[in-house]
Amino acid sequence: MKNIIEVRKDVPSGTIVINNPVSGNALTTFGLVQLREALGDLHQEKNVRAVILTGSQQIFCGGTDLKQLQSNLVSDEMLPTHQDVELLVELLMVMLRFPKPIIAALNGPAVGLGFAIALAADFIVAAEGAMLQSPEIHRGLVPGFTLGLLEFRAGGSIAARFGLTGAAMTPVEAKQLGLVHEIVADELVWARAQQLAGDLAQGSAQAQQMCKRLLNETIAERLETTLTLGAAMVAASRTTSHATEGINAYLEKRSPVWD
C-alpha cells in the first residue's frame, strides 16, 4: 500500500504531512492508520513539543477517499465501511486527547474529513488561499464528524449553516468565528506554525500537558458521545441510494439526480 503520510522532525516541532496530491490529499483507510501511528510516534519523542499537521502542495486534506468508498459500496461489503468510520472516531479522539499541542497548518482547502481534522487541532494557522468546507450534503452523505466538532467550537447555528448547505468557509469567516487563530500569506503557513511551536516550547511541557488534560477531561465525554453518534449517522448515510448517486455523480463530474 502507498504511504501517504510523511513525518519530519524540526525540533521543537514534529510535522505530519498528508501527501496524496493526485487524490487531493484524500485519506484512504490505510492513510488513517498511518496518521494515527504518526501521532503515536511523535507522542513518544520527548524533544518534540508540538505537532504541526499540514498537506502537500496547496491542499490540506481533501477528506475521505471517495474512490475507495465507492469501491466498498459497489462490493456491498459493509465491514470496511464500518471499520473506516471507527478509525475516524479513534483518530479524532486521539487528536483531542493528545498531550502535546497540535497545530493545523492549513496550506489550502480542508474539505470533509479534512475540515473535521482541522477542528480537532488546538490551533489553526491558515493560508490566505485556504478554505474549509463540508460538501457531504451534495454527495448524499452526512458530515457527522464535522457537525459535532463545529457545533462544539462555534455553536449549533453555525454547524447547521455550513453542514446543511455545504457552503465553503473562508479563512476570514473562520477567524471571525474563533476557529482560525491566524491568517498568513500562503507561502508562510508552515513557517508561522513552526514559529508558534517554538513559542509553545518556551512553556512548561508538564503544565501544558496538564492544561490539555483539564480541557480534555472537561469536554472528552461529551465530544466522544457526539462523535460516536456522528459516526453512526455517517455509516447509515453510506448505505443509502442517495450516497451511491452522490458519490457516482461527483466522480463522474456531473450533477446528482436525487430520487
pLDDT confidence band for 216 (50 / 70 / 90) = confident
**Residue keyed to cell 465525554:** 221
Among 231, 65, 61, 29, smallest CA distance to 139 is for 65
Domain that residue 95 falls in: 5-188
pLDDT tens per residue across span 124-155: 999 999 999 999 999 999 999 999 999 999 99
Mean pLDDT of all residues belonging to the chain: 92
pLDDT of res. 74: 65
Task: Answer yes or no: is 217 within a domain.
Answer: no
pLDDT value of position 68: 86
Identify the residue with better confidence: 38 or 215: 38
What total number of domains does the chain contain? 1
- Check which CATH number belongs to the domain holding 80 and give it: 3.90.226.10
**pTM of the entire structure?**
0.94
User: Counting Cβ atoms within 10 Å, is residue 152 exposed (0-12), middle (13-18) or buried (19+)?
Assistant: middle
For 46-62, the pLDDT digits (tens) are 999 999 999 999 999 99
What pLDDT is attached to residue 9?
94
Q: Is the pLDDT of residue 76 over 60?
A: no
Does residue 225 lie within any of the structural domains? no
Domain contains 183: yes
Alpha-carbon separation of residue 75 from 105, 189, 199 (angstroms): 36, 41, 50
Q: Is residue 142 part of a domain?
A: yes
Element (H, E) at 14: strand 13-18
Instruction: Output the pLDDT for position 128.
Output: 98
